[in-house]
Structure 1
């Protein structure tokens, strides 16, 4: 029995080459067709229209990898394509499963409202950026097993967030370094308790810092405008990211965020309540929020949760918040955070709370206002909140405010499109080389 010199298989298996070529063609075209189906679905009205920029971005990355796959030498392409396509499927599944969860009505209502809150905080800042050529996709909220909300920035390594088993190959593990748009993870249980939703505003604050290059300006402001001694500056540098995110959430959701934060940290008993290198103590975080409230559009400081025992940094919080937010950011066209994301008509929150507890809609007309009023209704009377179904009604009211069209305008043939295609090609090279 003679052997084929190219494959080492028996010569009479002459049809293997044709079968292998067809198999590879089926696998690659199958993934290509699925990506095209998702893009077409995102360009129709419902249910994926709101996620158009995110779907197109993720699909461009995988499509770029598939195009690079086709450029491999024929023999290598034939040999390795099935394994490489499987890794690309696993990476694509990271995005696919988060989107498909929105097909389940109970999860869709919560996730759509969470996405709208993230967009209400992120969108005005995005729109203020002077350079429109590099518009970025907004954060996508997803439910996961982590006990506390978290932010995963674009461009980061997301292997730890992949489904059980992670990537099939070492190269696949190395290739999960590129996240094309930011994510906000919230616990599965959060979908059953609306006040937890306000944490999305905090996590979106992290993405604002990352996406719009504010980290260095914030450090400069702390060093040059806070008036703190060297020891205080060093302490607050470690807390700067969390402090900025708390300020963003407080400006966007007002006193409601402060109550939600206090409940979450008091109940969890985690590091964010006691203070460490990243998180200030709970009392300090609440004082930061109080200082941020005073700088917001309402300019008032309402009654807040108990603050706990005095801390050495108590006298520093107002100076820190003023340094970070007192002036506009050149990166945001000179606008201040308060002017972009500050909660409006704070004096009308009381009336909105009354309406919700009476079984009516809040009539706020703004996503952050509805969610803030619902949270304050829970703070005022958990019993009435439950009895009147305030949580479900507030979510329904938020969704009634959503306009038609995608959240973020698509950006074909621009820097994001080129970025995603390049990332996909680099991703395939990582898979081929084994990382």
Structure 2
């Protein structure tokens, strides 16, 4: 058995091994959730699989009420699945190996490199320990601060658990909440509106960026990746918050229910920044205008940063494509930013990611529209949320059939593991034996 496993690992590409690991974790989580102590009422196998998939992929879409259906032990299982899925399986494994004093070999380094989306083996172990320190500090600090809001309303023990769960869920950009209505009851709470966004922004911006900002000189010492992520994230936050306020200002189901402009901007702030990655809601998502929903779909698909707890296409992928478009319009043969050029291979990778993601989203929306009678905007929003592993919903998750749940689970899985992994399975590696003369293709 051990030899067969070793032979399979040696012959199987790292993306396939990692995808298999995440799939095994999903199955294990589903089995645990089916145990009697985990729920207050029996749930189906499909309920357990969907919940486990949503937790491992740090999405947050739910077909059962986390507060009313799951017991403390069930919620604990979900929190552990979120933590494992957010950190990544290889990150956890390397932490265990390092704690036991075992060296990280070439094979483990290869898997870790794929899991963290890195192109080099350099400083991988150091990056893992940086991740560990960031996670511990952020989640403990977040839980302690959230206790100030949750304990007065729910008591010492229950308030502490709500704080810990939301801290883990927020940092890992999961969007799961132990409150049935989400965070709508804390829409104007200053601590929640600062701590929760701080957690998912730090978790979603990427560990490499956090390490650069912590250890290197401001701006000049930062890498090109860090600079692009900071600027891209800032632009998306401003657009998300600003357009949310502009589009929903007079909507009585969302911002318009508040008389104060401060209250409206507070809700616009929280909902505008949580949309790309975390999936918490402090207002009625089903009450959004269609224009706002379309904006949120774009933000969810973009997602967060590489080597982070967020899903989606990633901010740097979009930034690279924008830079490539600008270079084309200016008739430049080289793509650059901040005095550094961007390799053609990175542009091709971004194109592949966007192409495969578009195909996945289109196919999922087509299958859902074919098999469900709901509003098209609700279906497209659900698929976008699943691919971006965001977890926001216009109230359509409960309407999914078993086939629809399977489609959404596949999309969540692909959104977390990465479209390139799907492309890896579809592609065959063939060395070109013949070179052909260049031909002309008319585009546009």
* Fold agreement, TM-score > 0.5: no
Q: Which has the larger radius of gyration?
A: 1
Structure 2 length-normalised TM: 0.30
- Tell me the TM-score normalised to structure 1 length: 0.31
- The structure with higher relative contact order (CA 8 Å, sep 6+) is 1
